[in-house]
Structure 1
Amino acid sequence: MAALRPGSRALRPPLCRSFSGGVGRLARERGTERRDAASSRVSRFCPPRQSCHDWIGPPDKYSNLRPVHFHIPENESPLEQRLRELRQETQEWNQQFWANQNLSFNKEKEEFICSRLQAKGSVLRTESGQRAALDAEEMADFYKEFLSKNFQKHMCYNRDWYKRNFAITFFMGKVALERMWNKLRQKQKKTSG
């Protein structure tokens, strides 16, 4: 796993820092939260406790998505916590959708290949033990049929995906404003005190 670190100064405005979780130490209760979350995921990687960045893991074998372990700052505000939880919920929702979709796709693809090979009178394995395959034109029929059959499901997914991302972006803006407001208040306290 690798830590998310902004590569240039252009990526350092407060909005980007709010996405990466900001700087701070990990909360003490994070260890149990990680263990609970890790038991439901395929990857059991746990970033170092002293880390202050989000970590991206290897692709999940079912969804092909890379899981993110979100950093929890010690002094996380309620707004920052809501943003992090919304991001985690969205990641889990996305993970579940694509794991189910890929499972369905692979199962239907196998059934299609078997039925086409049987219709041709071909065997599933060649004499050398390799799997028999269909040509690109025959597979194009499957892809077209699969996409047509799942069109409505993909439309609902896209609608929900955009709703969730707009909500995340809205909260990122609120967190960035909250952080700027807190910095401004700290500067005012230093100048007045």
Structure 2
Amino acid sequence: KFGCVLELSLVLFSGFWRDLFYLSRFFRVGLQKWPPGQLQLRDGRHGGASVLPVSAYLQRSTYRPEPSSTHDWVGPPNSLSNIRPIIYHIPENETELEKRLRNLRQDTEDWNHNFWAKQNITFSKEKEAFIISQLKAKGLTLRDQDGRRRSLNSEEMATFYKSFLDKNRVRHANYNKEWYRRNFTITLLLARVTLNSMWRTVTERQSSKKNGTPTS
């Protein structure tokens, strides 16, 4: 029981850390309601919106905002992974280090989406199979005479939840290790990009002073 609770806590903590990490990316981005069956991403500053079919996003669309956009774009939670898709802004005169950081972020987005989409699908299928098997053992069908869906009590479902966690213990542990490894690398790259940007600003100001050019 302790191992089950510990693993569940790690998964929840990982989700909290992920949301906290991306929160800084959301504060400049606006969301807008989109038509049923479509995914809409909206640039929070310029207010422009583009619409994509949901099927296109599930295939990991290569769509990108207009070049005039100056912010990251975020969409509604994906129906499979429950993760909001992010399209990272490509700045003008992007350096190789900035490009490396952006590509790693985008790759991590895709990796994270794929993991949880597959995991959630597996969870739903195994949960459904468990419920059907337990009802069958009782001589019951999935629905009663009135067509209402039968369910199991909390104690019966707890057996499935524990079994699922135990079976996926290594998978979840490997996910957490890879997640922290990726974000540690992202943090280091972000620090390098920030320092390079600061150094570039300082050198440009010093160069402007030497040439007698006013700086903004």
TM-score exceeds 0.5? yes
Give % identity: 49
Q: CA deviation digits over 1:84-104, x for unaligned, max 9?
A: 000011111111111111111
Partner of 1:20: none
Partner of 2:59: 40
Give the letter aligned to residue 203 of structure 2. Answer: R
Structure 1 length normalisation: TM-score? 0.77
Structure 2 length normalisation: TM-score? 0.69
Q: How does 1:1-193 map to 2 (within 5 A)?
A: 4-5=26-27, 40-41=59-60, 47-193=65-211
Query: For the residues of structure 1 that align with 2:122 and 2:57, how far apart are their CA atoms?
Result: 24
Cα 1:145/1:39, change in 2 over 3 Å:
closer
Cα 1:105/1:153, change in 2 over 3 Å:
same
Q: In the alignment, is the contact (CA less than 8 A) between 2:26 and 2:74 conserved in 1?
A: yes
3-state SS of 1:109 partner: helix
Query: For the residues of structure 2 that align with 1:175 and 1:169, how far apart are their CA atoms?
Result: 10
Return the offset for 1:190: 1.2
Query: For the residues of structure 2 that align with 1:77 and 1:154, how far apart are their CA atoms?
Result: 35
Give the letter aligned to residue 171 of structure 1. Answer: L
Query: For the residues of structure 2 that align with 1:126 and 1:73, how far apart are their CA atoms?
Result: 59
Structure with more contact order per residue of length (Cα contacts < 8 Å, sep ≥ 6): 1
Give the letter aligned to residue 139 of structure 1. Answer: M
Query: For the residues of structure 1 that align with 2:76 and 2:113, how far apart are their CA atoms?
Result: 13
Q: CA deviation digits over 1:90-119, x for unaligned, max 9?
A: 111111111111111011001100000001
Query: For the residues of structure 1 that align with 2:102 and 2:178, how far apart are their CA atoms?
Result: 18
3-state SS of 2:91 partner: coil
Return the offset for 1:45: 7.2
Q: In the alignment, is the contact (CA less than 8 A) between 2:28 and 2:71 conserved in 1?
A: no
Query: For the residues of structure 1 that align with 2:195 and 2:101, how far apart are their CA atoms?
Result: 13
Q: In the alignment, is the contact (CA less than 8 A) between 1:45 and 1:57 conserved in 2?
A: no
What value does the CA root-mean-square deviation take over the aligned residues? Answer: 2.1
Aligned residues: 161
Structure 1 unaligned residues grouped into runs of 5+:
8-36
Partner of 1:11: none
Give the letter aligned to residue 103 of structure 2. Answer: E
